Structure 1
């Protein structure tokens, strides 16, 4: 495998470092409330790899897990020192790890983003040029409502 097939990245403070090997299995810009809360921004850039293609090379991550309204587990993995959300797993994609797109070392955005999901909660100021766009996701199947605090209630 060539060096071009490997990409490194990490958290803001440098305590956590990872390496990916090979091409991503999936990439997307996601406008769901989970990604908005995970990133503190209008959307998340999700780059998914098979579990065995992501290696934590330095540091430790803290996990925060919750259940989505579809009844699946979402586990965010972040640096306990600076709080950067680096990796995550979701029950929708077993055997895959999501990598926060902006945490790759420069050139940070070396991958192609081919899909945009959960545009129903897209911020009105966001305009992206992505042809494959959907209001939810092909696997979206809620079994109950989201907790009120994720939708602005106190």
Structure 2
């Protein structure tokens, strides 16, 4: 994996650059993420907000209240509709990138599957990855340690 790394939307209107190493990579199978991706899960890459830079364009935002009651802001391209990243109100200061938006998604290596209690029966998961019914406590703490700067 090269640092910095870049990504963007399908049409090229929005581009970003990240200057730090991801703090977490994993697959979230919660219903919020299923709806937001239109898929079985969200392939998530957590980075610190201060290591994320928009270098072209400006995304639009869709804000919802997650199943757990906190705000979730999801950024997307208004031209092509591509999802790009989100800001989780429960863990301010981090950006969570959609792995599919990376220019080189080959280095995405999920460390676990979370919220598997919400996984769909047609969702075929990697049996080698650890599985958590919900968000494990140790992962909540890791997200909080990684997301120590308040996002603008």
User: Which consecutive unaligned segments of at least 5 residues does structure 2 have?
Assistant: 138-152
User: Which consecutive unaligned segments of at least 5 residues does structure 1 have?
Assistant: 140-154
Number of residue-to-residue matches in the alignment: 136
TM-score, normalised with respect to structure 1: 0.82
| Max Rg structure | 1
Task: Give the direction of change, closer, same or farther, for the CA distance of 1:93–1:67 in structure 2 (3 Å limit).
Answer: same
TM-score, normalised with respect to structure 2: 0.83
Shift of 1:66: 1.3
**Alpha-carbon displacement from aligned partner over 1:96-140 (angstroms, at most 9, x marks no partner):** 00000011113x13132102101112122312134321111136x
Matches within 5 A, 1:1-154: 4-106=2-104, 108-125=105-122, 126-138=124-136
Shift of 1:26: 1.3
Structural RMSD (CA): 1.6
Q: Look up the match of 1:151.
A: none
Q: Secondary structure at the match of 1:133?
A: coil
Structure with higher helix content: 2
Shift of 1:10: 0.5
**Alpha-carbon displacement from aligned partner over 1:12-64 (angstroms, at most 9, x marks no partner):** 11101001112101111011111111111111100010001111100110011
Shift of 1:83: 0.7
Structure 1 runs of 4+ aligned residues shifted over 3 Å read none
**Alpha-carbon displacement from aligned partner over 1:81-101 (angstroms, at most 9, x marks no partner):** 111110101122221000000
